[in-house]
């Protein structure tokens, strides 16, 4: 078994092993976007026979492919995984990924914020971190990827990291640079070649791919060309762009580069000069203009000790190794923070008219994971809901609702007094909120005898009817309270169905792959036999057999590119067997001759070896006889050249 870390990115996914959102994107997408129902994470697509798949199912399919890729590379089964997510992901998005991992058969040990994963990969290998009593090393991790820009201020001490703040811009990334280039070239091509690429989705995709490549070239060169053959209406296009022109095009974007940096420092209560190191990760940090803006903001050199593409996945792999019992890794504590404040609301108790009905339990910037105990005084079952306290901080129009929790078996005590109900709310290491446990606390009065003193024992013996002295002792009794949770996670009835459905789809995918393999195998066999029948098989087949085999091969090839273009695996196997029925006897004669030649060579080698043995033995006897005659002794054994080569001959 092995563990892996996965950087689940917007454009690329990286696997490491030990050793307004919809509205803003829809105009750039080249496929339909479907609005999902309320409280339902994801859209849906239409599969075979009009079948619909949720976003969770689609991610589960992708995770299954990731699992397969990792298993093939490691040559081991993969079961445990830590996956990175943007720090701004909400509870519903995180639950969706957890469900997707469960459907795909992966045990998700942790959902880890991107920059926290990068920080772990940075700190766990450092041996020079300050001690517990020393000033911490403060590092700013800046991750600018394909679609978003995240900054985290992290403090390091020996054996631990503490995230002090995280800030982000969800609409700042490499695709925004690409979009600016596409808009520029759309205008230029319209003026120069009289074509409107915006009216042709395929042309837009090709220009976007060329723009991304151009952006990367301009990161290292002052000027770069763009050239696309037959872009639209059989027209070839080309243009040149300077780095300065690119920077002018994205100036509105670059002007926002300082905003997350300022926000992160403000939330951490620090200044730019308090930061010791600035680490950059993410592919977009290679853009020179961005690096210049960031360096100017902090007033110090930037650090690139982390692999910009693999740092986050590497950190996830370290975290997975720490959490997995399979590996033994250096202890390293991770203290992350809450990015959105979470509050609980409930209905006012009729017996407590001045009771508050809401409470912010997890504040923004608080430690995560974290546990809070909520106390309620009730005489009957009650409900409470969890939601984000500041909906304006959430992505787009994301619903702030997190979950509804019903506390059962609540009743008044024997004196018609309130039951003291305590609920354990936990924001776990995944960033997911649950009310994990409910219990009641009840005070009880219990009588118990007072121990008698030595002088009082005689009196007790004289009068047996004298009542014993007792005192009252208070005890606390606890009992569980069942809680029914309603969250965005998969409903229990659907949980076992989706993995089974996924396995069925995997089997269908395997059948498709096997069918394609058999088709390719048949095509390869046809070409091989066509070449061999006139070459190495020529002397082993009669003219009639050759003509029959060639006719069969030609008929099979015609069928393959006509009716056999799209058929089943069994049909391809049957066609292969038909050809082998004709070609089999010819091939067998060839292999019989080859085997006979090998046998003849083996016999010749054995005979040669035997001859050398006899010569060696004769030489040995002659040498021994000569030495015995000269010295009057038996003589030492003599190793001849023939004996030295004997093992070599035997190996052949």
Q: How many CB atoms lie within 10 A of CB 331?
A: 8
Clarify whether residues 472 and 357 are in a common domain.
yes
Same domain for 585 and 505, yes or no, is yes
- Residue 346: give its domain's CATH number: 2.60.34.10
3-state secondary structure 426-468: EECCCCCEEEEEEEEEEEEEEEEECCCCHHHHHHHHHCCCCCC
Rounded Cα distance, 90 and 339, in Å:
9
Burial of 405 (0-12, 13-18, 19+ CB in 10 A): buried
Q: Note whether 134 and 144 are within 8 A (CB).
A: no
Please tell me the chain's helix, strand, coil percentages from 3-state DSSP, rounded to the nearest 5. 45, 25, 30
DSSP 598: H
Q: What pLDDT, on a 0 to 100 scale, did the predictor assign at position 369?
A: 92
Structure tokens at 534: 């006139």
- Name the residue with tokens 């803006």: 293
Residues 481 and 581 in one domain: no
Out of 196, 224, 252, a domain closes at 252
Element (H, E) at 229: strand 223-232
Residue 102 belongs to domain spanning: 2-19+42-172+256-336
C-alpha span between 142 and 149 (Å, rounded):
7
Are 349 and 328 in a shared domain? Answer: no
The count of structural domains within the chain is 5
Residues 199 and 318 occupy one common structural domain? no
Is residue 613 in some structural domain?
A: yes
pLDDT score, position 23: 40
Which of residues 206, 234, 252 is at a domain's end? 252
Task: Note the maximum CA span of the chain.
Answer: 131
First to last CA, the chain: 41
3 state SS of 267: helix
Domain CATH code at residue 66: 3.30.420.40
Q: Do 279 and 140 contact (CB within 8 A), yes or no?
A: yes
Burial profile 412-442: b = 16 or more Cβ within 10 angstroms, e = fewer: eeeeeebbbbebebbbbbbbbbbbeebebee
For residue 367, being part of any structural domain is answered with: yes
Query: How far apart (Å, rounded) are the C-alpha atoms in residues 85 and 7?
Result: 8
Cα 328 from Cα 346, distance rounded (Å): 45
Residue 383 domain-assigned? yes
Find out whether 407 and 423 touch, Cβ atoms under 8 Å.
yes
Q: Does 480 lie in the same domain as 430?
A: yes
Can you read off the two tokens belonging to residue 58? 């689609």
Residue that is last in its domain, among 314, 336, 358: 336
Residue 457 placed within a domain: no
What is the pLDDT at residue 332? 92
The reported pLDDT for the residue numbered 17 is: 56
Q: Are residues 342 and 368 in the same domain?
A: yes
> If DSSP codes are grouped into helix, strand and coil, which group holds residue 51?
coil
Residue 302 corresponds to which tokens in the numbers above?
């930037």
Record the pTM. 0.73
Distance of CA 613 to the CA centre of its chain: 64
Q: Is 461 a domain residue?
A: no
447 with 576, same domain?
no
Q: State residue 615's pLDDT score.
A: 92
* Element at 607 (helix H, strand E): helix 569-631
> Do 443 and 529 have their domain in common?
no
Check residue 43 and give its pLDDT. Answer: 44
Secondary structure class of 394 (helix, strand, coil): coil
Measured CA to CA in angstroms, residue 167 lies from 15, 273, 276, 340 at distances of 25, 18, 18, 11
Which parts of 104-238 fold into alpha helices (H)? Answer: 114-123, 174-193, 201-218
Q: Do 552 and 479 share a structural domain?
A: no
37: region left, alpha or beta (phi > 0 left; psi from -120 to 50 alpha): beta
> Does 37 reside within a domain?
no
Residue 31 is assigned to a structural domain of this protein: no
- CATH number of domain containing 233: 3.90.640.10
CB 107 within 8 A of CB 101: yes
Q: List, run by run, the mean pLDDT of 10-residue segments along the chain (652 residues).
A: 58 54 45 46 48 83 89 88 93 93 90 95 92 94 94 96 95 93 95 94 94 93 94 94 95 94 95 95 93 95 93 93 85 94 91 86 93 92 94 88 93 80 94 92 69 56 53 70 89 64 74 87 89 86 87 89 86 90 88 90 92 90 85 52 48 44
Same domain, 383 and 445: yes
The answer on 141 and 9 residing in a single domain is yes
Give the pLDDT score at 324: 85
Residue 140 belongs to some domain of the structure = yes
CA distances from 145 to 167, 174, 177, 196, 332 (A): 14, 6, 11, 30, 27
**CB hemisphere CA count around 142 (13 angstroms):** 30
The reported pLDDT for the residue numbered 39 is 38
Q: How far apart are CA 288 and CA 283, in angstroms?
A: 12
């Amino acid at each position: 078994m092995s563990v892996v870390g996965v950087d689940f990115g917007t454009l690329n996914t990286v696997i490491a092993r030990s050793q307004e959102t919809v509205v803003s994107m829809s105009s750039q997408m080249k496929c339909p976007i479907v609005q999902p129902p309320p409280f339902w994470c994801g859209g849906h697509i239409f599969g075979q026979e009009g079948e619909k798949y949720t976003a969770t199912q689609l991610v589960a399919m992708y995770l299954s492919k990731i699992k397969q890729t990792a298993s093939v590379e490691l040559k081991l089964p993969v079961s445990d995984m830590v996956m990175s997510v943007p720090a701004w992901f909400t509870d519903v998005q995180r639950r969706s990924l957890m469900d997707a991992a469960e459907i795909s058969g992966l045990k998700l040990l942790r959902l880890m914020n991107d920059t926290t994963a990068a920080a772990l990969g940075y700190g766990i290998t450092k041996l020079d971190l300050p001690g517990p009593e020393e000033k911490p090393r403060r590092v700013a991790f800046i991750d600018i990827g394909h679609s978003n820009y995240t900054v985290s201020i992290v403090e390091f001490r020996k054996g631990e990291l503490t995230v002090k703040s995280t800030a982000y811009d969800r609409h700042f990334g490499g695709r925004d640079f690409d979009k600016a280039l596409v808009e520029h070239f759309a205008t230029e091509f319209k003026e120069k070649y009289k074509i409107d690429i915006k009216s042709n989705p395929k042309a837009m995709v090709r220009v976007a791919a060329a723009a991304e490549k151009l952006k990367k070239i301009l990161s290292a060169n002052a000027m770069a060309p763009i050239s696309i053959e037959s872009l639209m209406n059989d027209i070839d296009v080309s243009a040149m762009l300077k780095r300065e022109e690119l920077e002018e095009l994205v100036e509105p974007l670059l002007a926002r580069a300082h905003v997350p940096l300022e926000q992160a420092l403000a939330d951490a209560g620090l200044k730019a000069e308090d930061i010791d190191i600035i680490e950059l990760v993410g592919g977009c940090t290679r853009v020179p203009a961005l690096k210049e803006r960031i360096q100017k903001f902090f007033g110090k050199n930037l650090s690139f000790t982390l692999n910009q593409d693999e740092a986050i996945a590497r950190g996830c792999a370290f975290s997975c190794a720490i959490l997995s019992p399979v590996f033994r890794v250096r202890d390293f504590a991770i203290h992350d923070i809450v990015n959105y404040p979470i509050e609980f609301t409930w209905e006012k108790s009729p017996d407590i008219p001045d009771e508050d009905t809401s409470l912010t339990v997890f504040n923004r910037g608080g430690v995560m994971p974290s546990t809070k105990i909520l106390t309620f005084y009730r005489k009957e079952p009650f409900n409470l809901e969890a939601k984000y306290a500041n909906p304006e901080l959430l992505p787009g129009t994301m619903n702030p609702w997190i979950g509804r929790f019903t506390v059962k078996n609540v009743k008044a005590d024997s004196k018609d007094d309130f039951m003291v109900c305590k609920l354990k709310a936990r924001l776990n290491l995944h960033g997911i909120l649950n009310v994990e446990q409910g219990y009641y606390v009840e005070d009880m009065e219990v009588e118990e005898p007072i121990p008698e003193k030595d002088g009082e024992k005689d009196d007790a013996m004289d009068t047996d009817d004298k009542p014993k002295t007792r005192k009252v002792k208070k005890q606390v009794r606890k009992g569980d309270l069942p809680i029914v949770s309603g969250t965005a996670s998969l409903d229990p009835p659907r949980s076992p169905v989706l993995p089974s459905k996924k396995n069925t789809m995997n089997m269908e995918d395997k059948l498709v792959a096997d069918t394609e393999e058999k088709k390719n195998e048949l095509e390869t066999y046809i070409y091989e036999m066509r070449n061999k029948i006139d070459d190495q098989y020529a002397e082993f087949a009669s003219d009639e057999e050759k003509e029959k085999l060639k006719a069969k091969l030609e008929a099979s090839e015609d069928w393959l590119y006509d009716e056999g273009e799209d058929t089943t695996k069994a049909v391809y196997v049957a066609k292969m067997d038909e050809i082998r029925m004709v070609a089999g006897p010819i091939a067998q004669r060839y292999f019989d001759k080859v085997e006979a030649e090998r046998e003849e060579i083996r016999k010749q080698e054995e005979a040669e070896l035997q001859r050398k043995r006899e010569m060696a033995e004769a030489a040995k006897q002659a040498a021994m006889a000569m030495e015995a005659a000269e010295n009057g002794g038996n003589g030492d054994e003599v190793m001849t050249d023939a004996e030295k080569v004997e093992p070599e001959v035997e190996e052949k």
